[in-house]
Copies of this chain bind each other. A is one copy, B any other.
Amino acid sequence: MSATAFVPGHATGFFSPVHDDDPTNSGARGAGITLSDGISVTVASGDGVFFDGDEVEIEAVDRVLGALRVDARVTAETELPIGCGFGVSGGVALGTALAANEAFDRGLSMNELVTIAHGADVQAGTGLGDAVAQARGGVPIRLEPGGPNEGHLDGISAMSSVEYVAFGPVRTATVLAEETAHLTDVGRACLSMLVAEPTLPTLMRASRRFAREAGMVTPSAREAIEAVSDAGGSAAPVSIGNAVVAIDGGLTDAGYDANQCTISRAGAHLR
């Protein structure tokens, strides 16, 4: 009784939060890039939640296990920076759902599993749409918020190598608990830009605009984005994060020691 799932990372470019009393209707419109660097989650007989070797408590994981009526040991690992806006929380929740469903023969469909993970991430206050994007892979555009039955996705058709650096964690729950009316307006404007021209360069531009107008970009991230631009490349901040993603070798060209991966071809899947 053991199964392992892989979930790509998700670097949110911009978002527009939507709150609803039903967590599966809550979430965010927005867009981002899923990454071939991601989160690996194994669910097996036993107990405890282990993350990169340490025993931890993750509310979204407990909620997923509760919804699936599974008592198990969850072991998660990632090469992504934690608490920096790469969707690690949504990824652990979604990976737990897929692996627990497989290991314990729960027989749920992908939409059901994504709905459970999305609702758990929203209720825990750790994410608003990462799980839905991570289930899809590629470069998802979230046209309507919520789980797979309520939301509506599109995507950018693109393939590229990607680099990223993180300068330190940010408390997502704190950001998401604050007044978000301004974020909603700025995020909507960015989504309109992207829908009018759904390409990777437009996503990068819209993400920079979001960070600027929402006042979210940290000095370290701003400096990196400018350095990449000066070196002739294209970078953007990771929303709710003190981190930067660049297309192709933009960060290396600007002298940063960056992590390298690609846009994830696949969404979340069993190993």
Taking Cβ atoms with an 8 Å cutoff, the residues of A that contact B are 98, 101-102, 107-111, 113, 137-138, 141, 148, 154-159, 195, 197-199, 265-267, 269-271
A131 to chain B, nearest CB (A): 14
A102-B158, A111-B155 known; 15 other A-B pairs, CB under 8 Å? Answer: A102-B157, A108-B198, A109-B154, A109-B156, A109-B195, A110-B138, A110-B156, A110-B157, A110-B198, A137-B266, A148-B154, A158-B270, A159-B271, A265-B269, A266-B266
A63 to chain B, nearest CB (A): 18
Measured CB to CB, the nearest residue on chain B to A5 is B157
CB<8 Å pairs between A and B, sample of 20: A98-B157, A101-B157, A102-B157, A107-B198, A107-B199, A109-B154, A109-B155, A109-B156, A109-B198, A110-B155, A110-B157, A111-B155, A113-B157, A137-B266, A137-B267, A138-B267, A157-B269, A157-B270, A159-B270, A159-B271
Q: Is there an interface contact between A138 and B269, defined as CB atoms closer than 8 Å?
A: yes
Per the bound structure, the CA–CA distance linking A138 and B138 in Å amounts to 14
Give the copy number. Answer: 2
Measured CB to CB, the nearest residue on chain B to A160 is B270
Q: Is there an interface contact between A157 and B109, defined as CB atoms closer than 8 Å?
A: yes
Per the bound structure, the CA–CA distance linking A270 and B158 in Å amounts to 6
Measured CB to CB, the nearest residue on chain B to A265 is B266
Of B108, B109, B156, B269, which is within 8 A of A159 by CB? B269
Per the bound structure, the CA–CA distance linking A266 and B265 in Å amounts to 5
Per the bound structure, the CA–CA distance linking A199 and B159 in Å amounts to 31
Query: Which residues of chain B are near A266, meaning CB under 8 Å?
Result: 137, 265-266
Query: Which residues of chain B are near A270, meaning CB under 8 Å?
Result: 157-159
Query: Which residues of chain B are near A137, meaning CB under 8 Å?
Result: 266-267
Query: Which residues of chain B are near A159, meaning CB under 8 Å?
Result: 269-271
